[in-house]
Amino acid sequence: MSESQDIDMVNVEDVDVQKKASEADALVVADIRQNFMLLERAVHTFESRFTTRVLRTTASIRKRLNIDILFQSFRDVYPKDSADKGRLRNYLGKDSGLMDVDSEEDTLDNSQPLPEIDLYLHLLVMIYLLDKQDYEQGIRLSCETINRIQILNRRTLDQLSARIYFYYARFYELTGNLAEIRPVLLAAQRTATLRHDDDSQATLINLLLRNYFHYNLFDQADKLVSKATFPESAGNNQQARYMYYLGRIKAIQLDYTASHAHLNQAIRKAPQNTVTAGFQQAVYKLSIIVHLLMGEIPERSIFRQPVLRKPLVPYLHIVQAVRIGDLSNFQEAIAKYGDVFRKDKNFTLIIRLRHNVIKTGIRMISLSYSRISLRDICLKLHLDSEKDAEYIVSKAIRDGVIDAIIDHEKGFMKSKENVDIYSTNEPQNAFNARITFCLNLHNESVKAMRFPLNAHRKELASAEALQNDAISSYYSIL
């Protein structure tokens, strides 16, 4: 084969690649134009479900978004020589072959777009800058967009505003300047509450809680939760985040039962897919620690899930050490995976598990021996002295961990006979907890159901029509 033929084949392949790329770009542009139509319908009908459909397509559009598609979208929406179009082009730079030169399609003057469409394009540009890691331009654009949102007061902008606030905080988080935007988020949260903007209110509360947790300001986070009311109509994603933050606050405050309930809600409400793998891992890590602090052992099936298997390896070692009550293995796991626990911000909670490891060890000893000396307990639990062992055993007896007595003079612990658990209220309490969980699940499922707007009016109209037909037929018979 000659060299000219090789060049021709390469040229043909390049043409095919360019053709496929242009076809893919055309599909994305068509999807964006469809979203423009949905936003117009949302404005004219005051139906938020059309805006929800637009935002659901953001993930698929984000994967295929490029600068040429954005420039084409600007030409479809903005009038010729529009200041907004030029400003957005400046944020994107001049990397595209289109540059700042208008094509022949720009000769058609468009009317000024709706604010919803304008902010939607701002949102797409912010997402593009975030993926390109151009954080400085992203901060400038997000600040300008937030100022525009604060001027406008349109209920059809609520969902778009909430999403823009999220990326606004994300830019500042990636640059390490979250503390700077805290006053802005607090002011926006107050405004959203006054305007009954549930979408922005839920998003801003979660952003503020994330802001406080970033700087370990747990008291301020608790005050925010106690003063602000999280809207019940918020989406499942925001509710899952809020439940996770509540679970972390309650765990730090030693209220492990409430923390366990909130984390279960977060796990149930979070989407179960690979996109939310990071959130699932964070929730399960905290849930495992809370389980252990409650004196329970998590199910082994949790550690076998594909999304969780590798990230939960350090926590599996902690669970194994707590389960058998081996203090030396527990300390080895902390020394080996301490950096991982600090990165997950769970190190302080894991340190609390030392007492649980000792309690578990004492429980295992009390089940294995009817009588054992404090010296042997000290050796088995790797404690410093017999006095420490005596104090720990006394506290375990007082807390109800074991049913035993201590002979201080002879220096031994004597276990009592096991009591039939079914003679106590524990089975009834466990059964009641399961019934309560099922009832709450049913009530929340009913609340989450959505119905068409004003559907009852159609039924009334059809009933009136049938009544009129019956009356007319009656008079015709007479």
Tens of pLDDT, residue by residue over 348-359, are 999 888 887 877
Q: Work out the percent of the chain whose per-residue pLDDT is above 70.
A: 79
User: How large is the average pLDDT for residues 168-173?
Assistant: 90
- Please give the residue that has the higher pLDDT: either 17 or 86: 86
The pLDDT-based confidence of 323 (bands split at 50, 70, 90) is confident
Query: Is the pLDDT reported for residue 99 higher than 50?
Result: no
What order do you get walking across the sheet with 404-407 strand by strand?
371-373, 412-415, 404-407
Residue pair 249/290 in contact (Cβ under 8 Å)? The answer is no
Q: Nearest Cα to 413, choosing from 385, 364, 386, 374?
A: 374
Task: Say how far apart CA 67 and CA 58 lie, in whole Å.
Answer: 16
pTM of the model: 0.77
Task: Say how far apart CA 230 and CA 149 lie, in whole Å.
Answer: 22
Give the pLDDT score at 97: 44
Domains and CATH numbers, the chain: 11-176 (no CATH), 355-417 (1.10.10.10)
Alpha-carbon radius of gyration of the chain: 31
In the structure encoding, which two tokens stand for residue 133, read together?
A: 């890691």
Residue pair 283/267 in contact (Cβ under 8 Å)? The answer is yes
Q: Partners of 372 in the beta sheet?
A: 413
Give the pLDDT score at 209: 93
